[in-house]
Amino acid sequence: MIKQEDKFNLNNIGLNTLSLNTMIKSKISLNNKDNYLSDWINQKYLSLNSIKKLQLKFKLAQPYSFLELRNFFNKDKIKFIEQAILTINFEKKETDLFSFYQTIDLVSVNDKVLREFHQFLSSNEFLNYLHALSGLKLKPNTIAMSGTRYLAKNYLLPHDDQLEGRALAYFLYLSYLNNKDGGKLELYGKNKDRKMAVINSIIPRKNTFAFFQVSNRSFHQVEEVVSNKERLAISGWFHHA
């Protein structure tokens, strides 16, 4: 059992990460219920023990660093975000690489809930938290964010997301799909035969927050949706500081 006073003693809990030091220097108290993070994020993801485990999980993930965090946001927040995003116009986007529906950049919408959500994701507090999990220093107030909607037969073919400055690609899923519905986020890497194949996948479940490190290896796709279910999400990128 870790004592309250020991929670910030890195030696006692065997952690030696710059990111946790950063959080301490920022005076973020993970147990303070009035804290900005606590307002938004499920408490179970805010304990130091949890962060330690997630750090390792991120680092060791295959085929490249990623995390899938289920029931991540507080339920009331998700409910309002979902309601808000459904009021925004989605336009059909079609190229050689994809077929889906997408909103404009949500930075520019008037909706109060979505603006608050964007502010939260761009905040120093949340970026420090992501820094703690990923080890990546992220630039505040520059995140990209848009809503996507995949209907039956919609898809996004393999690509790596690499563009200058992108550090983490993130997704907040707002609908439930099963394996047989399609729509999985599929991550590519080399299989045991050294051939590129899907190594891991994330099935969209409402209130799952997922992210992966963008690199020249971060190939991924959204599997075609093959049922009549809708795959609704908010996604975008965090950038390097």
Partner 1 sequence: MLEHNFLDNSDINKYYFNRSYLNKSYLNKDNLLKIRYQLKINKSIILFSILDDHFLKLFQREIDQLEYNPDFKLSFYSCKKARPNQLITTTCKSILKNYFKKEIKTINLYRFGWKDYTILNDKLKSPKCLEAIFIFSKEKWNEDDGGNIVYVDAKGRETVVPITNNSLIIKQKENGEKRYLKYINSGAKHKTIFLIECL
Residue 36 Rama label (left phi>0; alpha psi -120 to 50; beta): alpha
CA dist., res. 45 & res. 162, Å (int): 28
Q: How many CB atoms lie within 10 A of CB 178?
A: 13
Cβ distance to partner 1 smaller for residue 56 or 97:
97
Task: Indicate whether 99 belongs to the interface with partner 1 (CB under 8 A).
Answer: yes
Residue 157 Rama label (left phi>0; alpha psi -120 to 50; beta): beta
CA dist., res. 102 & res. 87, Å (int): 13
In one letter, which amino acid is 201? Answer: S
The H or E element that residue 211 is part of is strand 208-213
Tell me whether the omega of the peptide bond preceding residue 63 falls within 30 degrees of 0, making it cis.
yes
Question: Measured from the CB of residue 69, what is the shortest distance to partner 1 in angstroms?
Answer: 27
Cβ distance to partner 1 smaller for residue 107 or 198:
198
The H or E element that residue 99 is part of is strand 98-102
> Tokens at residue 50, please?
């949890």
Question: Measured from the CB of residue 197, what is the shortest distance to partner 1 in angstroms?
Answer: 9
Question: Residue 190: beta bridge partners?
Answer: 196
Of 45-53, 82-90, 156-164, 169-177, the segment contacting partner 1 by CB under 8 A is 156-164
Question: Measured from the CB of residue 20, what is the shortest distance to partner 1 in angstroms?
Answer: 36
Contact set for partner 1, span 209-238 (CB under 8 A): 219, 224, 226
Of 30-38, 92-100, 109-117, 128-136, the segment contacting partner 1 by CB under 8 A is 92-100
Size of the site for partner 1 (CB under 8 A): 17
CA–CA–CA angle 222, 158, 137 (5° rounding): 85
Question: Measured from the CB of residue 94, what is the shortest distance to partner 1 in angstroms?
Answer: 9
Of 63-71, 154-162, 172-180, 208-216, the segment contacting partner 1 by CB under 8 A is 154-162
Contact 174, 78 (CB under 8 A): yes
Among 34, 96, 164, 193, binds partner 1 (CB under 8 A): 96
Cβ distance to partner 1 smaller for residue 135 or 158:
158
Question: Measured from the CB of residue 153, what is the shortest distance to partner 1 in angstroms?
Answer: 4
Three-state DSSP state, 172: strand
Contact set for partner 1, span 165-204 (CB under 8 A): 182, 188, 195-196
Cβ distance to partner 1 smaller for residue 45 or 188:
188
Instruction: Give the residues lining the site for partner 1 (CB under 8 A).
Output: 96-97, 99, 152-153, 155, 157-160, 182, 188, 195-196, 219, 224, 226
